[in-house]
Amino acid sequence: MKTLKGKAIKAGDNISTDHIIPGKYAHLRSNLPELAKHAMEDAIPDFASRVEEGDFLIGGKNFGLGSSREHAPIVIKMSGISAILTRSVARIFYRNAINQGIPVLICDTDAISDGDELEVNLDEGTVTNLTGGSRISFNKVPLFMLTILEEGGLIPYIKKHKDFVIPANQNPGFSEGK
């Protein structure tokens, strides 16, 4: 059983890739550790000082809208965030996060407050709020993407399989998280 534990850092609705990592830092994009120091700074100015290994980033509506820069999920991952919990997520960001091996879990995040201690059970698809006491379930990651996620992202997946291998039982009936 895979469980993750950490505190919630709440980011709110409509967090764009420009909030996550502004275009003005494009000159640092080939220096990811330096770039990662600016993760989330236009949305949560004290993010860098608060985030600890294993924490969860909590979004609201349409998390990750905007550009295709994969630097966005990369800097979130590098900051120590173990999973993103959000009410809904933009398409490109979702695929990028899975490709980087970061779970994006679609659930009702209203009952989560900033600083709450959470326990996420990836197999069961549940989030237990250890501070608030509530329990919420999330939509499971679609099967094909789950394989990519479990193998650590798209690059490790392709290194292993050399191609896209889509088992017949995963198609159709596949649905990507909204």
Partner 1 sequence: MSKTLAEKILGSKVPGVQAGDIAVVNLDLVFCQDTTGPLVVRQFQESGFTRVARPKNAIFFLDHAAPSPSKELSNDHILLHQFAQETGCMIAREGDGVCHQLVAEIFAKPGDIIIGSDSHTVTAGALCAFATGMGSSDVAIGLALGKTWFRVPESFLINLEGSFPPGVTGKDLILHLIGKMGADGATYKALEFSGGALEQMTMPQRLSISNMAVEAGAKVGLFPSDEVTREFLKEHGREKGYKSVSADAGANYEEIYSINLGYIEPMVSFPHTVDNVFPVTAAKGIKIQQVFIGTCTNGRLEDLAVAAGVLKGKKSHPETRLLVCPASRKILMDAIGLGYIGTFIEAGAVILPPGCAACLGLHQGVLGDGESCLSTANRNFKGRMGNPESFIYLASPATAAASAITGEITDPREIL
User: In the complex, which residues of this chain contact partner 1 (CB under 8 A)?
Assistant: 14, 16, 18-19, 22-24, 26-31, 42, 61-62, 65-71, 73, 88-92, 95-96, 99-100, 142, 144, 153-155, 158-159, 163-164, 166, 170-176, 178
When the beta carbons of 118 and 149 are compared against partner 1, the nearer one is 149
CB of 77 to partner 1, least distance (A): 13
What are the φ and ψ backbone dihedral angles of 13, each rounded to 5 degrees? -80, 160
CB of 114 to partner 1, least distance (A): 19
Please enumerate in sequence order all residues whose Cβ is within 8 A of that of 75, keeping only pairs 6 or more positions apart, or say none: 20, 21, 32, 35, 36, 38, 39, 40
- What's the Cα-to-Cα distance from 11 to each of 53, 63, 90, 113, rounded to whole Å? 17, 9, 15, 10
Helix 91-99, helix 154-161: angle, nearest 10: 60
CB of 88 to partner 1, least distance (A): 6
What is the residue whose two structure tokens read 């017949």?
168
When the beta carbons of 6 and 66 are compared against partner 1, the nearer one is 66
CB of 19 to partner 1, least distance (A): 6
